[in-house]
Amino acid sequence: MRWPLLLISSVLALGVASPAVAPAQTRVEETALATTVYTGAWFQSHSERPWSGGTAALSNAALSRATLTFSGTGVSWLGLRGPQAGVAKVYLDGAYQVDMDCYASRETVRAVLFTRSGLTADLHFLTIDPTGTRTRPPPTRSSSWTPST
């Protein structure tokens, strides 16, 4: 049985600049930077797909966690949406935001999976916890699936 994967390709942080210098700019924080702390079972994917920055971190294990530290007024998480993807819990500054379902019938690399704007111009933490589950079953030829109501 193949468990659903969760993938973090990159995080876009809306930077903060002094009004005298320039307006806010978007900067990409690649997951290979020291600002990302991984706990649990993660592995790096380098060449299978055109990841942002050339690499991505993948996990299919509950109790794994990725915490990305950034400074800025907004953030977006880019990752994989596809038939092999599952569900992750997303937290911003320790507060639960959403259960993000990364499943899709067709694969999309660098999909925007979560975004928030209007944050204070401070240090923030985006935490992504794979649940090891999916909301849709893996496709099979011999079975049908009816969602519960």
In a domain, 138, yes or no: no
Percent of the chain with pLDDT over 70: 60
In a domain, 135, yes or no: no
How many domains does the chain fold into?
Answer: 1
Model pTM greater than 0.85? Answer: no
Q: How far apart are CA 105 and CA 137, in angstroms?
A: 11
In a domain, 40, yes or no: yes
Q: Which residue has the higher pLDDT, 142 or 120?
A: 120
What would the pLDDT profile of 9-40 be if each residue is shown by its tens digit? Answer: 555 555 444 344 444 444 555 544 448 888 88
In a domain, 149, yes or no: no
Instruction: State mean pLDDT over 98-117.
Output: 89
Which range marks the domain in which residue 46 is found?
Answer: 6-130
CATH number, residue 105: 2.60.120
The answer to whether the CB of 42 falls within 8 A of the CB of 56 is no
In a domain, 107, yes or no: yes
Question: Which pair of structure tokens corresponds to residue 9?
Answer: 């390709």
Q: Which residue has the higher pLDDT, 87 or 45?
A: 87
Cα 70 to chain centroid, rounded: 14
Instruction: State mean pLDDT over 94-109.
Output: 92
What would the pLDDT profile of 63-78 be if each residue is shown by its tens digit? Answer: 889 998 888 888 888 8
* Residue 105, pLDDT above cutoff 60: yes
In a domain, 37, yes or no: yes
Q: Which residue has the higher pLDDT, 67 or 146?
A: 67
What pLDDT, on the 0 to 100 scale, is given for residue 30? Answer: 52
In a domain, 116, yes or no: yes
